[in-house]
Amino acid sequence: MEKLILKAKHLSNTTILFLFMAPAAVGLYMSYAFNPVNADNPILYVFLLISDFIGIFSIMGLWFTILFDVLVPKHHNSTNLLKNKSFMKTKPTVDVLVTVAGEPANIVLKTAIAAKNIDYHHKVFILDDGNSAEIKRMCDELSIGYVSRESNKFAKAGNVNNGLRIASDADFFVILDADQVPKSNFIKKLIPYMSDPEVAMVQSPQYFTNTHNFIAEGTSQAQEIFYKYVCPAKNLSNSAFCVGTNMIFRRSAIDKIGGIAQVSHSEDIWTSYKLHELGLKTIFVNEILAEGMAPDRIESYFKQQLRWATGGLSMFFERNPLASIHLTLDQKLQYFLSNSYYFVSITILAYLLFPIIYLLFEIKPLNANSSAVWLIHYLPYVSMYYLLSWLLLGKIRISTISVSLASFYPYILALVAVMRGSRNEWVATAAKKKKSDPIMKWLWPHVFLIALTILSLIMGWYNPIDFWATVFYSALAAWNMYLLVLFINGERKNAILNNI
């Protein structure tokens, strides 16, 4: 029997020890920060409480998800690949659907050739929402299927459902984004899990190869914890969800829910949600079976994050999983954690503004007259966050911290859009640029914060009242500014490399 690959990457004993210690560090900080006696400016203190609650909830949810994967290991052996020995003998049919929405033909060609060469009897269809004559000719030359449609209604979801309706008739179907190049063993690695008739989807990770670029490097590592640890851990509660590409679906299961969820954004998590409400199973297989491209420009990265955040937050407000009567308690919690993650934008923005506000107006959320007492409560909490990230990833790249900090803006845009009931246009990450947005459309908050930080550093050191508080907030403001400058500079370096 083939070795199961459901579990997370092996955790060292040191990492497990610190995962156990993390709640104590968080509790120590909360005992100080959440005690009203230590409040300073009441308005800032309220914002601190809100920001810290969001941040702590997100971090603790992440840590406990990973920790339970270690504490309850039996689920790693709960799926017998060959439970039904006759399953593979029936030679289940598979179609591979490659979704295209304006990506360059050379990118699509590489994926199409790899998809055709997968070592399993299958058919390949290019689902082209870009209606490209060049890509159609390419499909004719490769002798693979080509499907297009007149409208782009429901974006990727509509594209896939159109392909399922008029082209695909297999028992199972694979979905690949145009830039996700599959390995030859893609199907053979995933389809054995379908021997269990209750399994509706099997998902493999996204893995990015273009990490020579600052922004792509940061976005890639920022997702490593998610794919290496969080997704495998979701197998424990049958809450692994589709990430939009690199997965295989059971056609009959998708037909039961009326097709891929008809939404213009984040059809992946909505489809998973509907499958779970029917009581069907999903599995995350922790093995890289396809290689793709991370967004390497600020515009493409922010549009991707805006799309993901809109999907998560729309589910949070419109169909909150906690209210579902069909999900298990564990599934409700896992969906809630995933959807609520994007509120961290409030936490990031608050901690960008706190040092600036102090330097400009000499007001702060907490009264830290006794610096030693405050440090005793604060340092273990912050240190634990970075230490655990370092232990899980092996190292933390400065690009990862920079990109994560800068991402507050698309998350806030998504929050505002969802609360107003508006929707953003879906654009494929690797799509060709028809007309780029002015870069300041995406960077004006960051540039404004940099300018405000410079002003605050000048004002803060003009006759400071509390020398050590000014030193601390100056260091924090300067560090934040440095990370934002690195992020903006990453776009400039990419422009030089591409001769733009």
Q: What is the pLDDT of residue 42?
A: 96
Whole-number Å distance between alpha carbons of 62 and 341: 10
Q: What is the pLDDT of residue 317?
A: 94
Q: What is the pLDDT of residue 72?
A: 64
Residue 341: pLDDT band with limits 50, 70, 90:
very high
Tell me which of 2 and 362 has the higher pLDDT: 362
Residue keyed to tokens 């009897």: 121
Flag whether 356 is in a domain.
yes
Would the pLDDT of 125 be above 50?
yes
Helices (H), 39-143: 42-71, 105-116, 133-142
Give yes or no: residues 92 and 21 share one domain. Answer: no
Would the pLDDT of 498 be above 50?
no
Flag whether 479 is in a domain.
yes
Give yes or no: residues 348 and 208 share one domain. Answer: no
Give yes or no: residues 207 and 237 share one domain. Answer: yes
Distance (Å) of CA 452 to CA 353, 357, 362: 9, 10, 15
Main-chain phi, psi angles of 480, to 5 degrees: -60, -45
Would the pLDDT of 237 be above 80?
yes
Residue 157: pLDDT band with limits 50, 70, 90:
very high
pLDDT tens track for 63-98: 888 887 777 655 555 455 545 568 888 899 999 999
Give yes or no: residues 58 and 86 share one domain. Answer: no
Give yes or no: residues 467 and 398 share one domain. Answer: yes
Flag whether 322 is in a domain.
no
Flag whether 64 is in a domain.
yes
Tell me which of 433 and 382 has the higher pLDDT: 382
- Asked which of 280, 296, 312 is the last residue of a domain, the reply is 296
Tokens of residue 100, six digits = 């295209």
Q: How many domains does the chain have?
A: 2
15-19, 178-182, 292-296, range with the lowest pLDDT: 15-19
Give yes or no: residues 93 and 146 share one domain. Answer: yes
Would the pLDDT of 497 be above 60?
no
1-15, 154-168, 329-343, 471-485, range with the lowest pLDDT: 1-15
Would the pLDDT of 410 be above 70?
yes
Give yes or no: residues 84 and 21 share one domain. Answer: no
- Asked which of 258, 278, 296 is the last residue of a domain, the reply is 296
How does the average pLDDT of the chain come out, rounded?
Answer: 89
Q: What is the pLDDT of residue 499?
A: 41
What average pLDDT score do residues 200-214 get? Answer: 93
Q: What is the DSSP code (8-state) at residue 227?
A: I
Tell me which of 335 and 20 has the higher pLDDT: 335
CB 144, CB 81: distance < 8 Å: no
Q: What is the DSSP string of 276-290?
A: HHTT-EEEE--S--E
Domain of residue 81 covers 76-296
Give yes or no: residues 108 and 136 share one domain. Answer: yes
What average pLDDT score do residues 267-291 get? Answer: 95
Sheet holding 281-284, edge to edge: 145-148, 123-128, 94-100, 172-177, 247-250, 199-203, 281-284
Pairing of strands 181-182, 172-177: unpaired
Give yes or no: residues 279 and 377 share one domain. Answer: no
Give yes or no: residues 97 and 246 share one domain. Answer: yes
pLDDT tens track for 458-496: 999 998 888 888 999 999 999 999 999 999 998 765 544
Tell me the CATH number at 210: 3.90.550.10
Give yes or no: residues 120 and 261 share one domain. Answer: yes
Give yes or no: residues 181 and 46 share one domain. Answer: no
Please, which residues bridge with residue 181 across strands?
Answer: 291
pLDDT tens track for 285-310: 999 999 999 998 999 999 999 999 99
Flag whether 478 is in a domain.
yes
Would the pLDDT of 428 be above 60?
no
Flag whether 442 is in a domain.
yes
Would the pLDDT of 500 be above 50?
no
Q: What is the pLDDT of residue 17?
A: 84
Ranked by mean pLDDT, which of 193-197, 349-353, 392-396 comes out on top? 349-353
Q: What is the pLDDT of residue 402?
A: 96
Flag whether 244 is in a domain.
yes
Residue 365: pLDDT band with limits 50, 70, 90:
very high
Q: What is the DSSP code (8-state) at residue 341?
A: G
- Asked which of 296, 330, 364 is the last residue of a domain, the reply is 296
Flag whether 260 is in a domain.
yes
